[in-house]
Copies of this chain bind each other. A is one copy, B any other.
């Protein structure tokens, strides 16, 4: 029998999924932070725990796995790979494995093709792609100084500063004002301003979600911020497409990350669609609904030269939440 193992290592959770070549789920494993840039020792421990959890549940040993694919947050640059290869080899994965950044498994989970473009907009933003020749590029994924704009972390600040600018007369009035005051529990912007200044408070987390509430009421300020986010992601997608020479290709642009999969009703997506339509007319925009670890598993099959069947796509496409993926009863 042929077995595959997919690993999704993120900043808070690491997931491992083990199936046979028909997509029957034989084992699952969970660990904590799997991003070595955050904590190397913890990442090593989390990845080991998740992998061993899945193997033990399936009653299998590492050498019985045909291919293991690690999709790891923090696998960005050559310097990262010089750290990550010893890390997974220490666990026992000495051959038949691949490492790539988590963006690429998000991409793989969202498309029935082993190539395409992925745009991530979660806490930060990231863009990456792979063409039919297997070439891979990444654009962005660092922070504002390195050219990015947006993601939840930045949009929290945009919400806060828009309310300040509306209050001090630099910007028009916005529904974000009552929404943010209510969210943070202040009676007035002046009270909020003073409290933040007096106590050196940091930008409020989760304020970005208020953009969706305000946009639903046609608030111009919120719409402008969300559109700007869409334009930015569109520019990232265009850069990836041009670098990979995919202008004439038929492929999916997969949108992933909480801001794109939860909350957005097209305010961001429409701008991405418009930009992509001009540079790659045959591309299709899809919003990721499948758990990214599934992409790691399909990538393991790809790497092993095993074409993912329509049956496997259909069976596993519906895995939307790792916790709810059930072991296959046979």
Contacts and interface: CB of A to CB of B under 8 A. Distances in A.
Interface of A: 77, 79, 139-140, 142, 144-147, 157, 160-161, 164-165, 168-171, 193-194, 197-198, 203, 235-236, 238-240, 242-243
Contacts of A194: 77
28 contacts: A77-B194, A77-B197, A79-B197, A79-B198, A139-B170, A140-B168, A140-B170, A142-B197, A144-B157, A144-B161, A145-B157, A145-B161, A145-B203, A146-B161, A146-B164, A146-B193, A147-B161, A147-B168, A147-B170, A168-B239, A169-B239, A169-B240, A169-B242, A169-B243, A170-B235, A170-B236, A170-B238, A171-B235
Q: Chain A contact residues: over half helix, strand or loop, or mixed?
A: helix
Contacts of A171: 147, 235
Contacts of A160: 145
A24 B67 CA distance: 87
Q: How many copies does the complex hold?
A: 2
Contacts of A169: 139, 238-240, 242-243
A242 B77 CA distance: 51
Across chains A and B, which 9 residue pairs bring their CB atoms closest together, nearest first?
A169-B239, A147-B165, A147-B164, A170-B235, A147-B161, A170-B239, A139-B168, A146-B164, A145-B157
